[in-house]
Amino acid sequence: MSEANRKAKPSVNEVNIIKKDYGIVGSGVGMTNNVAEYSAAINAIEWLREQGLTGEKVTLLSDSQLLIFQLQKRYAVQSDRLRLLYDQLIENLKAFRKISFRWIPREQNYEADALSREAYQQTQNERRKERGEELVKDVVKIEDNLFKIKGKEYVINLYDNSCTCPDFVKRRRRCKHLWAVLFATEAKYEA
Ligand SMILES: [Zn+2]
Protein backbone atom coordinates (compact mmCIF):
# COMPACT_ATOMS: atom_id res chain seq x y z
CA MET A 1 0.00 0.00 0.00
CA SER A 2 1.29 3.40 -0.81
CA GLU A 3 0.69 6.99 -0.06
CA ALA A 4 1.94 10.06 -1.80
CA ASN A 5 2.50 13.38 -0.19
CA ARG A 6 3.53 16.81 -1.29
CA LYS A 7 5.76 17.68 1.62
CA ALA A 8 9.39 16.70 1.51
CA LYS A 9 10.37 14.06 4.06
CA PRO A 10 7.26 14.09 6.19
CA SER A 11 7.24 11.95 9.26
CA VAL A 12 4.71 9.23 8.69
CA ASN A 13 2.32 10.60 11.29
CA GLU A 14 2.28 14.03 9.70
CA VAL A 15 1.17 12.70 6.35
CA ASN A 16 -1.79 14.61 5.11
CA ILE A 17 -4.19 12.13 3.60
CA ILE A 18 -5.67 13.42 0.38
CA LYS A 19 -7.04 10.11 -0.82
CA LYS A 20 -7.72 6.85 0.88
CA ASP A 21 -8.41 3.75 -1.04
CA TYR A 22 -8.23 0.03 -0.70
CA GLY A 23 -9.34 -3.02 -2.52
CA ILE A 24 -8.67 -6.61 -3.29
CA VAL A 25 -6.30 -6.54 -6.23
CA GLY A 26 -6.71 -10.18 -7.12
CA SER A 27 -6.45 -13.68 -5.82
CA GLY A 28 -5.37 -17.13 -6.84
CA VAL A 29 -2.27 -18.50 -8.48
CA GLY A 30 0.32 -15.91 -9.37
CA MET A 31 -1.11 -13.34 -6.99
CA THR A 32 1.53 -12.27 -4.53
CA ASN A 33 2.05 -9.49 -2.03
CA ASN A 34 4.54 -7.97 -4.41
CA VAL A 35 2.02 -7.83 -7.22
CA ALA A 36 -0.43 -6.22 -4.80
CA GLU A 37 2.15 -3.66 -3.68
CA TYR A 38 2.99 -2.74 -7.26
CA SER A 39 -0.67 -2.50 -8.21
CA ALA A 40 -1.38 -0.23 -5.24
CA ALA A 41 1.53 2.03 -6.19
CA ILE A 42 0.38 2.18 -9.83
CA ASN A 43 -3.16 3.08 -8.73
CA ALA A 44 -1.89 5.81 -6.40
CA ILE A 45 0.37 7.34 -9.07
CA GLU A 46 -2.31 7.16 -11.74
CA TRP A 47 -4.68 8.89 -9.36
CA LEU A 48 -2.18 11.71 -8.79
CA ARG A 49 -1.77 12.11 -12.54
CA GLU A 50 -5.51 12.29 -13.02
CA GLN A 51 -5.62 15.05 -10.40
CA GLY A 52 -3.08 17.00 -12.42
CA LEU A 53 -0.50 16.88 -9.64
CA THR A 54 2.46 15.96 -11.83
CA GLY A 55 4.09 19.31 -11.12
CA GLU A 56 4.30 18.51 -7.41
CA LYS A 57 7.06 16.84 -5.52
CA VAL A 58 5.86 13.37 -4.68
CA THR A 59 7.21 10.94 -2.13
CA LEU A 60 6.07 7.39 -2.55
CA LEU A 61 5.99 5.69 0.83
CA SER A 62 5.49 1.98 1.17
CA ASP A 63 6.14 -0.71 3.72
CA SER A 64 7.18 -3.03 0.91
CA GLN A 65 10.94 -3.10 0.96
CA LEU A 66 11.03 -4.93 -2.35
CA LEU A 67 8.94 -2.28 -4.10
CA ILE A 68 10.90 0.67 -2.72
CA PHE A 69 14.32 -0.89 -3.17
CA GLN A 70 13.50 -1.88 -6.74
CA LEU A 71 12.36 1.64 -7.50
CA GLN A 72 15.55 2.95 -5.93
CA LYS A 73 17.42 0.46 -8.11
CA ARG A 74 18.96 -1.18 -5.06
CA TYR A 75 17.30 -4.48 -5.96
CA ALA A 76 17.00 -5.96 -9.42
CA VAL A 77 13.60 -6.89 -10.82
CA GLN A 78 13.79 -10.57 -11.53
CA SER A 79 10.29 -11.88 -12.06
CA ASP A 80 8.71 -11.29 -15.47
CA ARG A 81 5.40 -10.54 -13.90
CA LEU A 82 6.86 -7.82 -11.67
CA ARG A 83 8.87 -6.49 -14.61
CA LEU A 84 5.64 -5.64 -16.43
CA LEU A 85 4.28 -3.83 -13.40
CA TYR A 86 7.61 -2.15 -12.74
CA ASP A 87 7.74 -0.82 -16.31
CA GLN A 88 4.16 0.40 -16.05
CA LEU A 89 4.92 2.21 -12.80
CA ILE A 90 8.14 3.78 -14.13
CA GLU A 91 6.27 4.93 -17.24
CA ASN A 92 3.67 6.62 -15.04
CA LEU A 93 6.30 8.21 -12.84
CA LYS A 94 7.99 9.89 -15.81
CA ALA A 95 5.19 12.43 -15.87
CA PHE A 96 6.20 13.85 -12.48
CA ARG A 97 8.56 16.71 -11.87
CA LYS A 98 10.20 15.15 -8.85
CA ILE A 99 9.58 11.84 -7.23
CA SER A 100 11.31 10.04 -4.41
CA PHE A 101 10.79 6.72 -2.71
CA ARG A 102 10.86 5.89 0.93
CA TRP A 103 10.46 2.62 2.72
CA ILE A 104 8.67 2.73 6.05
CA PRO A 105 8.52 -0.18 8.49
CA ARG A 106 5.18 -1.90 8.59
CA GLU A 107 4.52 -0.95 12.23
CA GLN A 108 4.57 2.67 11.16
CA ASN A 109 2.21 2.12 8.31
CA TYR A 110 -0.93 1.99 10.46
CA GLU A 111 -3.11 3.58 7.88
CA ALA A 112 -2.36 1.10 5.09
CA ASP A 113 -2.50 -1.76 7.54
CA ALA A 114 -5.92 -0.76 8.76
CA LEU A 115 -7.16 -0.35 5.18
CA SER A 116 -5.96 -3.79 4.13
CA ARG A 117 -7.64 -5.35 7.16
CA GLU A 118 -10.83 -3.51 6.30
CA ALA A 119 -10.72 -4.79 2.71
CA TYR A 120 -10.17 -8.32 3.99
CA GLN A 121 -13.08 -8.05 6.44
CA GLN A 122 -15.34 -6.83 3.69
CA THR A 123 -14.62 -9.75 1.38
CA GLN A 124 -15.10 -12.15 4.28
CA ASN A 125 -18.42 -10.52 4.98
CA GLU A 126 -19.45 -10.75 1.33
CA ARG A 127 -18.67 -14.46 1.41
CA ARG A 128 -20.80 -15.01 4.51
CA LYS A 129 -23.62 -13.17 2.85
CA GLU A 130 -23.40 -15.35 -0.27
CA ARG A 131 -23.37 -18.52 1.82
CA GLY A 132 -26.27 -17.13 3.79
CA GLU A 133 -28.25 -16.80 0.58
CA GLU A 134 -27.61 -20.45 -0.21
CA LEU A 135 -28.87 -21.43 3.24
CA VAL A 136 -32.16 -19.54 3.06
CA LYS A 137 -34.02 -22.69 1.99
CA ASP A 138 -32.81 -24.51 5.12
CA VAL A 139 -34.02 -21.94 7.64
CA VAL A 140 -36.42 -23.42 10.19
CA LYS A 141 -38.44 -21.34 12.61
CA ILE A 142 -38.41 -22.58 16.23
CA GLU A 143 -40.49 -19.79 17.72
CA ASP A 144 -40.76 -16.03 17.40
CA ASN A 145 -37.34 -14.65 16.54
CA LEU A 146 -35.61 -17.97 17.12
CA PHE A 147 -34.44 -20.04 14.18
CA LYS A 148 -32.35 -23.04 13.21
CA ILE A 149 -30.64 -24.14 10.06
CA LYS A 150 -31.71 -27.62 8.97
CA GLY A 151 -29.08 -30.17 9.94
CA LYS A 152 -27.26 -27.80 12.33
CA GLU A 153 -27.61 -27.44 16.07
CA TYR A 154 -26.99 -23.67 16.08
CA VAL A 155 -29.68 -21.34 17.32
CA ILE A 156 -30.09 -18.02 15.56
CA ASN A 157 -31.65 -15.37 17.73
CA LEU A 158 -33.16 -12.30 16.11
CA TYR A 159 -33.86 -10.58 19.43
CA ASP A 160 -30.22 -9.73 19.74
CA ASN A 161 -28.96 -10.76 16.27
CA SER A 162 -26.79 -13.56 17.56
CA CYS A 163 -25.96 -17.12 16.62
CA THR A 164 -24.47 -19.94 18.67
CA CYS A 165 -22.05 -21.04 15.91
CA PRO A 166 -18.28 -20.72 16.52
CA ASP A 167 -17.89 -18.13 13.77
CA PHE A 168 -20.30 -15.75 15.48
CA VAL A 169 -19.26 -16.56 19.04
CA LYS A 170 -15.65 -15.87 18.22
CA ARG A 171 -16.00 -12.73 16.14
CA ARG A 172 -19.39 -11.22 17.03
CA ARG A 173 -19.98 -10.43 13.38
CA ARG A 174 -22.93 -11.47 11.26
CA CYS A 175 -22.36 -15.14 10.30
CA LYS A 176 -23.80 -17.01 7.33
CA HIS A 177 -26.63 -18.42 9.48
CA LEU A 178 -27.68 -15.00 10.62
CA TRP A 179 -27.57 -13.77 7.04
CA ALA A 180 -29.71 -16.75 5.99
CA VAL A 181 -32.34 -15.98 8.63
CA LEU A 182 -32.30 -12.28 7.80
CA PHE A 183 -32.79 -13.04 4.12
CA ALA A 184 -35.51 -15.57 4.93
CA THR A 185 -37.42 -13.15 7.13
CA GLU A 186 -36.82 -10.24 4.79
CA ALA A 187 -35.56 -8.19 7.73
CA LYS A 188 -32.32 -7.86 5.83
CA TYR A 189 -29.59 -5.33 5.65
CA GLU A 190 -28.28 -2.63 7.90
CA ALA A 191 -24.94 -4.37 7.43
ZN1 LIG B 1 -23.87 -18.71 12.87
What mean pLDDT do residues 118-137 have?
Answer: 90
Q: Which of 1-5, 37-41, 146-150, 181-185 has the lowest mean pLDDT?
A: 1-5
| 133 Cα–ligand 1 center, Å | 13
Which among 6-15, 116-125, 129-138 has the top mean pLDDT? 129-138
| 17 Cα–ligand 1 center, Å | 38
| 116 Cα–ligand 1 center, Å | 25
What mean pLDDT do residues 22-49 have?
Answer: 80
Instruction: Work out the number of other CB atoms within 10 angstroms of the CB of residue 158.
Output: 15
CB within 5 A of ion ligand 1: which residues?
A: 163, 165, 168, 175, 177
- Tell me the domains of the chain and their CATH numbers: 2-108 (3.30.420.10), 128-184 (no CATH)
| 117 Cα–ligand 1 center, Å | 22
pLDDT of residue 33: 83
Q: Which of 22-31, 88-97, 147-156, 167-176 has the lowest mean pLDDT?
A: 22-31
Q: Terminal CA-to-CA distance of the chain, rounded, Å?
A: 26
Cβ atoms 31, 77 nearer than 8 A: no
| 147 Cα–ligand 1 center, Å | 11
pLDDT of residue 123: 84
Closest residue by Cα to residue 4 from 100, 74, 105: 100
| 164 Cα–ligand 1 center, Å | 6
